Structure 1
Amino acid sequence: MSRFFALLSSVAIVAFAAPAWADTAPAVDEEATTPGEIIVTGEKSTRTLQQTPTSIAVVTPERIEKEALITIQDVYNRTANLSETYGAAGFTIRGVSNTGVGAGGQADAASVYVDGAPIPHWALYGGPTDMWDVQQVEVLRGPQSTIQGLNALAGGIVITSKDPSLVNWTGDARVLWTEHDDRTFSGAVGGPIIEDELGVRLSAERRADRGLIRNVTRGGYDDELKALNLRGKIKWTPAAIPGLEAVASYNRVRRDGGYLYEYSRTDVPDYYDHRISTGDQPSRGKIDSDIAVFNLSYPLADKLKLSSVTSWNRSKVHSVIDTDGTPADLQTIDNRYLYKTLTQELRLNYDSDTLSGLLGAWYYRRTGSIHQNSRINIETPTATIAGLLQANGATPAQAQFISNAYAAQLPVIPVAYNGDQPEKVETMALFGDARLKVTDRLTLIGGFRFDHERNRYAAETVATFNGTLPDPNFMGAPYAGIISLINQGVLGLVSDASSPLASNSRTFNAFLPKAGISMDWTPDLTTAFTVQRAYRSGGSSQNPARAELVPYDPEYSWNYEGSLRSKWLDGRLVLNANIFYMTWKDQQVTAYFGQNAYDYNTVNAAGSHLYGFEVEANAKVARGVDVYASVGHVRTKFDDFDLPQGATSTVDLKGTQFPYAPRWTLSGGVNAEFGGGFAANLNANYRTSVFTGVGQDQAQYKVSGRTVVNGRIGYETERWSLFLFARNLFNEKYKQYEYAAIHQAILGDPQTFGVGAGVHW
């Protein structure tokens, strides 16, 4: 962390020293370079960042290029109050995981959108979320349920790819090559087919990464990666229909690589710099993703525009991992996901001097299923066996002696587990958002969403014993009958995990209001306060032991937020901040009920709150020199945890923090152009320690904070560039997750140096 603060100190010195030479600097092109002129579209209205009270972090094409950002995970790690979780499994916004925080429920709490299409969370680690040919990334922090609706209680991430040009043919190409044999080849070309009317843009990226984690049992590297991302876009603005704009895009991703997280052994010397694994089964994640989006807009009248956004995507994911991580053939998880999602939005946008806003209708349908084919080991339940023996006449001492002897013969119960979980989710909504300018300075903010959801969930599981039972005579003939009884009990325990096909339909209605007020104190200083309600939908949860689908209800939250938008030093310094407080009730958690290890389902049992802030600053300090920094802080706490009667769960969430919720996230950087074509970037990001588990014992599942410094230096002309880049420049050694009992951990990326070249025409 000391390195990070040293970097920020130097950035701050430069920033606040800016006035000393500001008068001698040439005029700055505000339209092209000032962060305040960035246009954000994540709230489905065209506003500048400075006009938007929502906390939005924007990643521009310039930053993507200067920091050599490749994946969405790079954005996670360099944005205030945004953090990567378990490997590449997902992210947290303000401490809230994109899949929820209570380990229960089916719906997401935050989503990633690509050109308007929502990406399923199980495809995020290899879907169409890379940064090549991306026009802008917007991280919307805080509830977005009024505008985005489904799966937006924590916020959202909006990725927009570059549109075709209708004026000139242009092209871009880039090659990245690292010392660890990670090779990325990227290209894009586009231009007018009919000038000023019809344009096309095609882009492609091929990545081949040898990997870092060498498998000493099977050979090769567990995290080897091959990926191909293809995108085509057509834009049409027909002269015969003035004002009409149509954009159609198709994105195809094929990814064959490591699982969404990769374990390394920690019981070997120098395990950070010599990463190995010992699993006998493949650790792979294959993703086929296809996305089609059609955007249509037309002005109906002066200041009134009609828009339509249609998206369709298909995600096919095959995930395999050796969960025991040993050379023995003990456990493996083999899951297949196949989902199709269709969305349709119609929206009217109105924009006048006194009133601006939108009114829209939305339809969402997701269909698909999860097929699980796993081999797992369950610790032999000696207490259950002892209870069975006592029920048949044994004394407590005899029961304990026999159960311990049996467990020595069969320490774990091997189970082959097959499951199918088809589902269908349909959502229809009406939503609106408006701003009414009461005076030259005072603006009222209001919005609403009425959400109607119907979901149908089904489940079927088949569990079979997958090993060899102890010989009934291993304790001698007098005990043979007793051991046979125990064997039958073990088979019955496994059989209890099987459930016949069952299905359940649920319907939910949610009204989500939003209200606020904004004050323009000066043309360069605005404050706002908003209140809004958000929700995460309910559903049905399978209880395998009882062969039942148990319903659970939605979660609801209220978010109270203040914002500051400001420019200083004639616009050379932009300083924005948000402060928030959120209450959350009826949170979905997993509860156990005591029949056996499979007697569990989702219930509404927790309540919590969180609060914090984000501060972001950008400064033009001299000709060719700019600096940027951000600070995020969040405190999370479960306030209530009340399980239903009959629950036997031993995990208590009350008083604990959310998993993967760092209290502090800091980032910053400096860009410098030295003249003669030379340019450099130095950036760093810091995250405090996080708990990787939940419950009163979560201190046992804690990984320390880390500071990662990155850099890039190169020579650039109008047509080409050549550069060197470094990731984790000081070789910070850190863990994202540790499973100490089996000597495995998810390790952070090591120090990596690379070279790149790009051309533009």
Structure 2
Amino acid sequence: MKRTTMLMAGAAVTALSAPALAEEAAPANAGSPAEEIIVTGEKSSRTLQETVTSVAVVTTQRIKDENLITIQDVYNRTANLSETYGSTGFTIRGINNNGVGSGGNAATATVYIDGAPIPSRALYGGPTDLWDVQQVEVLRGPQSTIQGLNALAGGVVITTKDPSTTTWGGDARVQWTEHNDRTFSAAIGGPLIQDELGLRLSAERRADRGIIKNVTRDEYNDELKALNLRGKLKWTPQAVPDLTAVLSYNRVRRDGGYVYEYTRTDTEDFYDNRIAKGNRESEGNIDSDIAVLNLSYDLSGPLTLSSVTSWNKVDVRSVVDTDGTPEDLQNIANFYHYKTLTQEVRLNYDGDRLSGVLGAWYYRRKGDTEANSNLTMNTPTGTISNLLFNSGLMSEEAAQQLSNAYAAQLPAIPLHYESDAPEKVETMAIFADGRFHVTDRFSILGGFRFDHEKNRYTAETLAAFTGTLPAPNALGDAYAPVVSVINQGVLGLVADASSARASNSRTFDAFLPKMGISMDWTPDLTTSFTVQRAYRSGGSSQNPARAELIPYDPEYSWNYEASLRSQWLDGRLTLNANAFYMEWKDQQVTAYFSGGQYDYNTVNAGESHLYGFEVEATGELNSVFDLYASVGHVRTKFDDFILPDNSTTTDDLTDTQFPYAPRWTLAGGMNAHFDNGIIANLNASYRSKVFTGIGSDQSNFAVGGRTVVNAKIGYEMEHWSIFGFARNLFDEEYKQYTFASRNQSILGKPQTFGIGMEMHW
């Protein structure tokens, strides 16, 4: 972290001592306020400075300056946002997008692309890449009033570039890294009918050789081939001058390694010599198709009527060799199929005193999760010895000796596991969000959402023993009857993992209010305070041992937040901040019953709180240099963990922290655009230590903090540019997750150098 601080300080000194030639060549409008950023994620077109919600905005210019390729690049450079287990997800303010208590089916944060919600299983590749993207908005804190479903922690809103109806133009980019990661990108668009109908087509092809060599299969586990195609039509009919219609279609095909890849840590210099030994092929294939129709009609004066219809279909195939050895011991194969339809209708009003939105929302998701895996369980010597002793067959010491001898014959129980879990979620809601100016300076903020959800979950599992049981006389003829009993117990343990088809429907109603106040102290200084309720829907959880679907209830939270929006030095410096406190009740966690390995299901048992802040600043030093920086801090804590009386779960989460919740996230960077065409960017991000697991022993699952520095330098003319870039410039060695007992870790990305070229016309 000290190195990063010194680097940023050095960059600032360099900027302040820029060549006099650059100062003399500054245009007449140097130092003028930057173009206003419009935030769309709250369904109203407010500027960033007018938006009370804590929102980090990544513009097209920043995507270009920092050479951002995937949404994970945004996660790693934003205050109080963090990547989790490989690229499987993210945390906002310490809250995992799939929940923090390892229970429940609903997400806590959703990624939207042009208004279409993307299933979390598809977030690690394809539709969230950043080529031809106009803007990325990270909304931190509950968005349940506006976004509703799956937004207790926040949301990520990605907007792609619209077609032009006036002029033709295009963009192209080629990038190549030392690790043979090749990306070819292109976009072209313009008017099919002048000033009325525009078309934009974009494509990106990525071919990455990978960096984790599988020495057993003689291939790279993390090899990737991906194709992202998008087409958009924009229609502004002259016959209906107040109507705008935008139709988009996005098709992604990703063929590559698993969602995350382990590296062996029992080899020398494993950061620079990343190997794997699994005998099975690693797959993480995604097929996604997304269609969105966005209609907007200016009714009269301040009123606008909008409609957003989205449909997406996602198929994911995930296969991984989980034992990580040349032996054929374990592999997991999961298949996810989702179809999602949404319809939203909004009426926006933007008057002198009152502004806001009133809307209705419909959401339907049908999905199916299938598993076809080969697994192993360690032979439960404790369970066997207790059974022998409690049945009176032998003494406690003899029972322990016999169970250990049995485990020497069968150290692990191999089984084949199949499951099928269809689901259907249907949600309807009405919502409102607005601002009323009581005076020219003082405003009242308010809103609500009434959400009605009906979901249905079905589950069926089948487990079969695939090994060879010890012969009854394997421990001697005298113990043959006892070994036969143990063998039957092993088969019964495997049978417990099977459950007949069960189905359960649940219905929930939630009222989610929001209220607040805002004060414009000066045209450039505003403070606000808001209170709002958020929720995560309930559902049903399969208990395999009991062949039942057990219902669980929703989670609820109250969020209290203060915000500061300010601009200084005639708009050249922007300083924004948010501070928050959240109380969270009825959290969904996994509980075990009766001591059985498969006797578990989701229950509402957790209560917690979290608090912290984000501060973000951007500044223009002169016509050449601009700086930006952010800092985020969050503290999370489970306050109570009250399980049902019949639960045998022994791990109390009280006083523990959320997984993947770094207390500190810092980021900053500097851009330089010289008049002679030289361009440069230097940026750095820091994430403090995180716990990759949950529970009272989470200190055993800690990975240290890391500082990553990236750079880009190039030469830019009006229609083309050439550049070189470095990711992880100082080759920071860090882990995202470690599996110490198996000598495997998910490692951070290594030092990487590359070159690129762009064209614009």
TM-score of the aligned structures, taking structure 2 as reference length: 0.98
Partner of 1:507: 507
Q: Superposition RMSD on alpha carbons, in Å?
A: 1.6
Partner of 1:213: 212
Contact 1:103 1:590 in 2 (8 A): yes
SS in 2 for 1:711: strand
Partner of 1:574: 574
Q: How does 1:236-255 map to 2 (within 5 A)?
A: 236-255=235-254
In the aligned structure 2, how far is the partner of 1:570 from the partner of 1:475? 86
Contact 2:652 2:696 in 1 (8 A): yes
In the aligned structure 1, how far is the partner of 2:453 from the partner of 2:331? 35
Partner of 1:172: 171
Higher alpha-carbon deviation: 471-480 or 521-530: 471-480
Which string of whole-angstrom CA distances, capped at 9 and with x for unpartnered residues, describes residues 400-443 of structure 1? Answer: 22111101111111111100000000000000001000001001
Partner of 2:225: 226
In the aligned structure 2, how far is the partner of 1:443 from the partner of 1:636? 32
Question: How far is 1:398 from its partner?
Answer: 2.5
Contact 2:31 2:622 in 1 (8 A): no
In the aligned structure 1, how far is the partner of 2:433 from the partner of 2:281? 49
| Paired AA for residue 607 in structure 2 | G
Partner of 2:278: 279
Question: How far is 1:539 from its partner?
Answer: 0.3
In the aligned structure 2, how far is the partner of 1:546 from the partner of 1:233? 50
SS in 2 for 1:647: coil
Partner of 1:104: 103
Question: How far is 1:7 from its partner?
Answer: 2.6
Which string of whole-angstrom CA distances, capped at 9 and with x for unpartnered residues, describes residues 112-170 of structure 1? Answer: 00000001001100130001000000000000000000000000000000000011000
Contact 1:15 1:619 in 2 (8 A): no
Partner of 1:268: 267
Q: How does 1:51-66 map to 2 (within 5 A)?
A: 51-66=50-65
* CA pair 690-283 structure 1, distance change in 2 beyond 3 A: same
In the aligned structure 1, how far is the partner of 2:126 from the partner of 2:429? 27
Partner of 1:497: 497
Partner of 2:429: 429
Partner of 1:607: 607
In the aligned structure 2, how far is the partner of 1:238 from the partner of 1:34? 32
* CA pair 529-30 structure 1, distance change in 2 beyond 3 A: farther
Question: How far is 1:595 from its partner?
Answer: 4.1
Contact 1:22 1:621 in 2 (8 A): no
Partner of 1:335: 334
Partner of 1:488: 488
In the aligned structure 2, how far is the partner of 1:195 from the partner of 1:66? 32
Partner of 2:459: 459
Partner of 1:310: 309
TM-score of the aligned structures, taking structure 1 as reference length: 0.98
SS in 2 for 1:622: coil
In the aligned structure 1, how far is the partner of 2:694 from the partner of 2:235? 51
Partner of 2:4: 4
In the aligned structure 1, how far is the partner of 2:274 from the partner of 2:456? 44
Question: How far is 1:30 from its partner?
Answer: 8.2
Partner of 1:163: 162
Query: How many aligned residue pairs are there?
Result: 758
Partner of 2:687: 687
Partner of 2:299: 300
In the aligned structure 2, how far is the partner of 1:584 from the partner of 1:722? 50
SS in 2 for 1:509: strand
SS in 1 for 2:67: coil
Partner of 1:760: 760
Question: How far is 1:8 from its partner?
Answer: 3.0
SS in 2 for 1:107: coil
* CA pair 174-24 structure 1, distance change in 2 beyond 3 A: closer
1:536 correspondence with 2:543: no
| Paired AA for residue 731 in structure 2 | N
In the aligned structure 1, how far is the partner of 2:94 from the partner of 2:24? 43
Question: How far is 1:497 from its partner?
Answer: 1.1
| Paired AA for residue 715 in structure 1 | Y
1:732 correspondence with 2:732: yes
Contact 2:385 2:403 in 1 (8 A): yes
SS in 2 for 1:483: helix
SS in 1 for 2:464: strand
In the aligned structure 2, how far is the partner of 1:755 from the partner of 1:506? 54
| Paired AA for residue 413 in structure 1 | I
| Paired AA for residue 222 in structure 1 | N
- After TM superposition, where is structure 1 displaced by more than 3 Å over at least 4 residues in a row? 10-18, 20-31
Partner of 2:123: 124
In the aligned structure 2, how far is the partner of 1:595 from the partner of 1:440? 64
Question: How far is 1:282 from its partner?
Answer: 1.3
Which string of whole-angstrom CA distances, capped at 9 and with x for unpartnered residues, describes residues 169-210 of structure 1? Answer: 000000000000000000000000001100000000000000
SS in 2 for 1:384: helix
SS in 2 for 1:635: strand
| Paired AA for residue 205 in structure 1 | E
Partner of 1:583: 583
In the aligned structure 1, how far is the partner of 2:14 from the partner of 2:651? 50
Higher alpha-carbon deviation: 589-598 or 345-354: 589-598
In the aligned structure 2, how far is the partner of 1:353 from the partner of 1:609? 39
Contact 1:265 1:743 in 2 (8 A): yes
| Paired AA for residue 70 in structure 2 | T
* CA pair 85-558 structure 1, distance change in 2 beyond 3 A: same
Partner of 1:629: 629
SS in 2 for 1:485: helix
Higher alpha-carbon deviation: 249-258 or 6-15: 6-15
Question: How far is 1:27 from its partner?
Answer: 4.2
In the aligned structure 2, how far is the partner of 1:312 from the partner of 1:604? 32
Question: How far is 1:671 from its partner?
Answer: 0.5
In the aligned structure 1, how far is the partner of 2:673 from the partner of 2:681? 9
In the aligned structure 2, how far is the partner of 1:15 from the partner of 1:586? 51
Contact 2:178 2:752 in 1 (8 A): yes
Partner of 1:556: 556
| Paired AA for residue 282 in structure 2 | S
SS in 2 for 1:481: helix
Question: How far is 1:644 from its partner?
Answer: 0.7
In the aligned structure 2, how far is the partner of 1:39 from the partner of 1:10? 32
Q: Give the gaps of 5 or more residues in structure 1.
A: none
Contact 1:731 1:750 in 2 (8 A): yes
Contact 2:31 2:623 in 1 (8 A): no
Question: How far is 1:394 from its partner?
Answer: 2.4
Q: How does 1:5-24 map to 2 (within 5 A)?
A: 5-10=5-10
Q: Give the gaps of 5 or more residues in structure 2.
A: none
In the aligned structure 1, how far is the partner of 2:283 from the partner of 2:150? 27
In the aligned structure 2, how far is the partner of 1:179 from the partner of 1:354? 57
Question: How far is 1:594 from its partner?
Answer: 2.5
Contact 1:188 1:203 in 2 (8 A): yes
In the aligned structure 1, how far is the partner of 2:153 from the partner of 2:30? 36
In the aligned structure 1, how far is the partner of 2:430 from the partner of 2:113? 22
In the aligned structure 1, how far is the partner of 2:739 from the partner of 2:430? 46
Partner of 1:40: 39
1:522 correspondence with 2:537: no
Q: How does 1:699-738 map to 2 (within 5 A)?
A: 699-738=699-738
Question: How far is 1:583 from its partner?
Answer: 0.6
In the aligned structure 1, how far is the partner of 2:745 from the partner of 2:386? 37
Question: How far is 1:258 from its partner?
Answer: 1.1
* CA pair 115-107 structure 1, distance change in 2 beyond 3 A: same
Partner of 1:546: 546
In the aligned structure 1, how far is the partner of 2:564 from the partner of 2:481? 76
Partner of 2:383: 384
Question: How far is 1:295 from its partner?
Answer: 0.3
Question: How far is 1:211 from its partner?
Answer: 0.1
Contact 2:711 2:727 in 1 (8 A): yes
SS in 2 for 1:160: strand
| Paired AA for residue 239 in structure 2 | A
In the aligned structure 2, how far is the partner of 1:344 from the partner of 1:83? 30
Fraction of identical pairs, as percent: 70
Higher alpha-carbon deviation: 405-414 or 101-110: 405-414
Higher alpha-carbon deviation: 195-204 or 643-652: 643-652
Contact 1:11 1:627 in 2 (8 A): no
Partner of 1:185: 184
Question: How far is 1:383 from its partner?
Answer: 2.0
In the aligned structure 2, how far is the partner of 1:550 from the partner of 1:139? 34
Question: How far is 1:475 from its partner?
Answer: 1.3
* CA pair 30-370 structure 1, distance change in 2 beyond 3 A: farther
